[in-house]
Amino acid sequence: MRRPLAALRRDTPGDLAFKALLAACSVLVLLLALYPIYFVVIASVSDPAMVATGRVWIVPREISWFGYEQILADERIWNGYRNTLVYALAGTALNLLVTMPAAFTLSRREFRPRRVLMFFFAFTMFFSGGLIPMYLLLRDLNLLDNWLVFILPSAVNVFNLIIARSFFEHSLPEELHEAASIDGANYFQFFARIALPLSMPILSVIGLYYLVQHWNDFFTGLVFVRDYSLQPLQIVLRDILISNQAFSGGAGGAGGAGAGSYAQQYADQIKYGVIVVSTLPVIVLYPFLQRYFEKGVMIGAVKG
């Protein structure tokens, strides 16, 4: 019945095959996930003709900054960038200001209405009024073509609210509140001086979620805003990447010239560059922030 321990340790041929298969799969998955992103980066600085004829695979060839020069000169991109920065920062500030205190209240066990309120919030995750009633509401509130439309309707994300509430419930010992009450602290003081400083991890997590949500928001600009000067980066990106709108320098209009043409090659280089420029903040910050992102999923999973 009992086998010698050594037999458990030594790799059988089956184990070796398994390890080889695993290594192959891991490398494949890694390549699939990262290579497209890497390719965009090298293609954005390579000579467009080299890219178009399939001679750029591993390193950039015949460095060309044409795409980036065009992008630097393009007013729309920088206007969109500025708008997105403003919306993302102001929006995230409001998000946190509204979400954190609410999550704190909903985490207090002595606060009896919290069950009813949780239902009030969670119900909106599964049922909504839909596009048209929302549009008409925003029209009545004069929020169409108004920069506040990027900030106010998305002030509370119920998922993030639940994550923050779980965090308060699980990592704020009840003794802390008792001790603080004995010292005469009321709820405001307890929240501001004790609960909030202790919840910096969760503040970062949902702050990042909100930030990414604002950064990638395309829908709001598409449906609720006509004024181009208010449009965020994602709308500008759509026009360049997908609608193939011409660049100020004349390059970029792909359609008529025919695919594979000279103009098309330069248009593609601009696209690669635009992808890099617009996604850069997320990619650069990513290695530093990823442990926070992950933490959010874990906390959320404790009690969904």
Of residues 14 through 33, those in contact with other proteins by CB under 8 A are: 14-15, 18, 22, 25-26, 29-30, 32-33
Side-chain-side CA neighbours of residue 160 (13 Å): 26
- Within 8 A by CB and 6+ apart from 116, the residues are none
Query: Which lies closer to other proteins via its Cβ, residue 23 or residue 72?
Result: 23
Q: How many residues bind other proteins (CB under 8 A)?
A: 97
Q: Is 45 helix (H, G, I), strand (E, B) or coil?
A: coil
Residue 287: CB minimum distance to other proteins, A: 8
Tell me if 120 contacts other proteins by CB under 8 A: yes
**Residues within window 56-95 making contact with other proteins, judged by CB under 8 A:** none
Enter the DSSP assignment of 197: H
- Scanning 64-72, 85-93, 167-175, 218-226 for contacts with other proteins by CB under 8 A, the matching segment is 218-226
**Residues within window 277-296 making contact with other proteins, judged by CB under 8 A:** 278-279, 282-283, 286-287, 290, 293-294
**Residues within window 136-175 making contact with other proteins, judged by CB under 8 A:** 136-137, 140, 152-153, 155-156, 158, 161
Q: Which of 66, 81, 187, 292 is in the footprint of other proteins by CB under 8 A?
A: 187
Tell me if 98 contacts other proteins by CB under 8 A: yes
Where does 45-148 have alpha helices with state H? 48-52, 66-72, 75-107, 114-126, 131-140
**Residues within window 257-276 making contact with other proteins, judged by CB under 8 A:** 259-260, 264-265, 268, 271-272, 274-275
Residue 263, CA distances (Å) to 21, 76, 113, 256, 270 in order? 44, 20, 63, 10, 11
Query: Which lies closer to other proteins via its Cβ, residue 68 or residue 215?
Result: 215
Q: How far apart are CA 95 and CA 89, in angstroms?
A: 10
Contact 190, 126 (CB under 8 A): no
Amino acid at 82: R
